[in-house]
Chains A and B, each alone.
Chain A
Amino acid sequence: MAAQDNSSTDGVGPGRPGARLSRRIFLAGSTGLAGSIVAAQAAADSLADVPPRAPGADLGAHSERSKYVRIDRIPEAGPGMRNVDPDNAINAKTPHQQLFGTITPTDLHYERSHAGVPDIDPAQHRLLIHGMVDKPLVLNVDDLKAMPSVSRVVFIECTGNGWENWRKADPDLTVQHTHGLISTNEWTGVSLRFLVDLVGKQRGSNWMLAEGGDGAGVDRSIPLTEEILDEAFVAYGQNGEPLRPAHGFPMRLIMPGFEGNLHIKWLRRLKFGDQPWMTRWETARYTQLLPSGKARQFQLRMETNSVITSPSGTMKIRPGYNRVSGFAWSGHGSIARVEISTDGAKSWKVAQLNHPVLPKAQTRFQIDWVWDGKPTRIVSRSTDDKGNTQPDRSHFIAQNGTNALFHYSAQQTWSIDEAGRVSNVLA
């Protein structure tokens, strides 16, 4: 089983009632990366070392994470600019190497905010819907809650996800660094089609400007295709509770399968029109510069993608049985198949998909593997139910060049050396 440097297993030791400080525990606690594997075993090497049962702490209004679990997002200022002052952070990445299943804990959902997190009193928040409509409306969050609701588990992915590896692979990166800008939550809200029918969208009004109530007033033009009218919704709920401020409280747009930037947070305006507005974010920002010098615009859908989370960058494995696990996702639909190679993409095996396999949501995969102790490379590739297969790096770069900055979706390869150390490589 793989372990890595900030796993939850250290922190057992002196000071706990009943814990006996053995030399072994002390050694394990004082070592770093490699020590955490040892610590997990040494801390209760004999059942006699397991502390006796005792009455526990009082029940509280909230249940907190165990003090033995250290699990954090990583604030980042740009590719390679990590653990920066909160002042300078533009995003915070999800620690996929420490998570299970498919639902991201709410406080660990990745975040990209363009002008910080606004402090919005829902009693004073309004959503204006206007433009080419028959009946412009002002709604508050209670109005939305009174409407028929939809709930859906969907991934949201920043178009910058993967941007660390466009040109080179820093061997010290974890999967949190390389793929921490995607998360999956259950969101609850009101169907866009319901709102469109409510205000009476006029003929020829095929585009919608969605604008946030943050300092930057982030806004995007959204084409009102049948798919988007069917699937988009204005959410007020996140994993069963009101949205967290970092994720758009009190209301945000959810655009299943599309660029994270389109899921406008702190939503305060929907305006209908007959053409895109060409906002800063859809021209100067989230456009992909190609080798020709031209930039691809309105690449709105997120690609078919996957990544192995265990073992992954900076972990260490032992020869013998290892379970290879990770997750796949596609903005086109559901994941149909994930294949794993443990010999550097020479041969492939089909991985097991764990239920549920939901469209436009993270899907967990796993496969058994016996490592013979020789250096090798492991890699995953996914195929969705529309037949799209995740490209290998050489094909991906041939098509996109190395200047695009956004929408990186090439297969992720992890290298394993003779000592079992796992590191980030390009292919």
Chain B
Amino acid sequence: MSSPSKLVAGLALAVSMGAPALAYDFGRPATPDEVKLWDIDVRPDGKGLPEGSGTVAEGKHLFEDNCAACHGENGQGGIKDRLVGGQGTLMSDKPVKTVGSYWPYATTLFDYIQRAMPYPSPGSLSADETYALTAYLLNLNGIVAADGKLDEASLPKVKMPNRDGFVPDEAFDPARLFRRN
């Protein structure tokens, strides 16, 4: 006859032994090579940025060919989101939220171009082209010099004008949320 404590121990053993076997009853393991194909996200610290580089000058040509039809010449006046200007308007009655006036991280711009643009063929740009477009848009916003160039080392170091323009909701502040240990 087993005591309650033995019963609990027995259950715990069954659960711990069962878990690994259970895992691969559903789906299959992901291989590192296939994960690389989909693992496109880029963080502010640069984690996830691919090797490559691009210049403002290269980005200007790419923008004219791939982006200006929707976003306008020089990233303004198009039918879709305005990308340039607006700095100093965020406290006004007509705030203009653009890459230059609002976006807090340059890495987000790279990530978004890479995953979502150009609209008809997302994912079609190479890493070099994406760096070039990022450099050009930052140049239009006065953040990168006209002869500038960006790569995986320099992009995370770009300080966006509105980097300190955000206050986290107290309930979900990343700096405090899981800091209990």
Contacts and interface: CB of A to CB of B under 8 A. Distances in A.
A219 B41 contact: yes
Interface string A278-295: 111001100101111111
Contacts of A128: 30, 34-35, 38
Contacts of A114: 116
Contacts of A298: 168-169, 172-174
B43 A283 contact: no
A287 B166 CA distance: 8
Nearest to B48: A277
29 contacts: A128-B34, A130-B30, A135-B24, A137-B26, A138-B27, A143-B26, A198-B26, A206-B178, A215-B116, A216-B115, A217-B122, A225-B177, A269-B38, A275-B174, A277-B43, A279-B108, A280-B108, A283-B108, A284-B99, A284-B112, A291-B91, A294-B167, A296-B166, A297-B168, A298-B172, A299-B169, A300-B172, A301-B171, A403-B93
A217 B122 CA distance: 9
Interface string B109-130: 0011001100100110000000
Contacts of B168: 296-298
Given A211-B41, A278-B44, A294-B167, A138 B178 contact: no
Contacts of A207: 174
Contacts of B107: 278
A199 interface: yes
A13 interface: no
Given A128-B35, A284-B97, A289-B97, A278 B105 contact: yes
Given A136-B35, A289-B95, A297-B168, A197 B19 contact: yes
B23 A199 contact: yes
10 closest residue pairs by CB, A with B: A293-B91, A139-B27, A217-B115, A136-B30, A298-B172, A280-B112, A293-B90, A206-B178, A299-B169, A216-B116
A162 B150 CA distance: 41
A417 to B, nearest CB: 30
A360 to B, nearest CB: 15
B43 A137 contact: no
Contacts of B44: 278
The residue among A215, A271, A284, A294 with the most chain B CB atoms within 10 A of its own CB is A284
Contacts of A209: 41
A137 B166 contact: no
Contacts of B108: 278-280, 283-284
A276 interface: yes
Contacts of A284: 97, 99, 102-103, 108, 112
A320 B45 CA distance: 65
B111 A296 contact: no
A147 interface: yes
A287 B172 CA distance: 13
A140 B39 contact: no
Given A135-B29, A269-B38, A283-B104, 20 more contacts: A115-B122, A128-B34, A136-B35, A137-B27, A137-B28, A206-B178, A215-B119, A277-B111, A278-B43, A278-B108, A279-B111, A280-B111, A283-B105, A284-B99, A289-B90, A289-B95, A289-B97, A294-B166, A296-B167, A301-B172
